[in-house]
Amino acid sequence: MEPEFFSMNISDWTRIVKEEAKRLGFDYCGISKAEFLEEEAPRLEKWLKEKMQGEMAYMENHFDMRLDPTKLVPGAKSVVSLLLNYFPEQKQEDAAAPKISKYAYGEDYHLVIKRKLKEFIFELQQKIGQSVGGRVFVDSAPVMDKVWAKKSGLGWVGKHSNLINKQSGSFFFIAELILDIELIPDSAVGDFCGTCTKCIDACPTDAIVAPYLVDGSKCISYFTIELKGNIPSEEKGKFENWAFGCDICQDVCPWNRFSKPHQENAFLPSENLMKMKKKEWEEITEEVFQQLFKKSAVKRTKFEGLKRNIRFIARD
């Protein structure tokens, strides 16, 4: 290892990680020890056995890797969890138009955050030592991001299964660095949902089957993004105009009164998207789709998928 690596201690490394997170524009950074997620193992197994993943077959893969970061990164010692705000200042102007989830207004978050994470690793190697090893993750590998964010003190997992930060709500992307250096871990915080059931009461498809338990196969986000076939006819009239994703459980959460507009230019929506009328959505062509959602997460559902969703809610 390089001389500079030995001249620093765990406190120095931890300080550098936190400073880099702030410099790169992440809103929150928390650290936890890379260890087997013992409490999560039976919960995940039960969730999968009850087929709450629906057609999301990838959720069944790499069970051990989901629970043990050392299987993803040999020699892993620390998990750095990062939150990046995506709460928009803008709203879709036509209240009657099909709605898309706020996280998809701008450039695909995978692309935006991966760029930041690659720079993050590079800077750590420059400032701590080239021998620092690890991997970066943003919702694209078997990493239980909300669990790690909770362990690292960034919030608690609410009854709708989203991470809630006491200062800023839940409209955040979560990313991780799994590193092979030891850092000072942060402490978990308490659960502040209390007796509130607003998210459960508001879910039109009853996807939140119990507090802290979401049946993914019943979620509007699942139907409009992950499901490849026809949307079940019994769900007609329940989507409340959502054509890509769904924000209902977050919109009704009292903690999101603390949400503030993001500061990330890449997440700013195009003016054309915000101004689209109901009729324009219903008559969208593939050419317009490709142009409008060129770098957007909406491309996940593909043109035919979006058209399917729009047709489905048009009959609500």
Q: Tell me which residues are annotated as active site.
A: 139
- The number of CA neighbours under 13 Å toward the Cβ of 31 is 22
Q: Could you give the residue ranges of the DSSP H alpha helices within 263-301?
A: 271-275, 278-282, 286-292
- Cα-based angle 185, 188, 192 (whole degrees, multiple of 5): 160
**Contact criterion met (CB below 8 Å) for 140 and 117:** no
Beta bridge partners of 80: 31, 177
Provide the token pair at 4: 């500079």
C-alpha closest to that of 157 among 249, 45, 22: 249
C-alpha closest to that of 295 among 110, 101, 107, 103: 107
Beta bridge partners of 78: 33, 179
Beta bridge partners of 176: 81, 137
Q: In b/e form, how buried is each residue of 105-132, taking b as 16+ CB within 10 angstroms?
A: bbbbbeebbbebbeebbebbeebbbeeb
Tell me, letter by letter, the H, E, C secondary structure of 206-243. Answer: CCEEECCEECHHHCHHHHHHHCCCCCCHHHCCCCCCEE
Residue 313: other Cβ atoms inside 10 A: 22
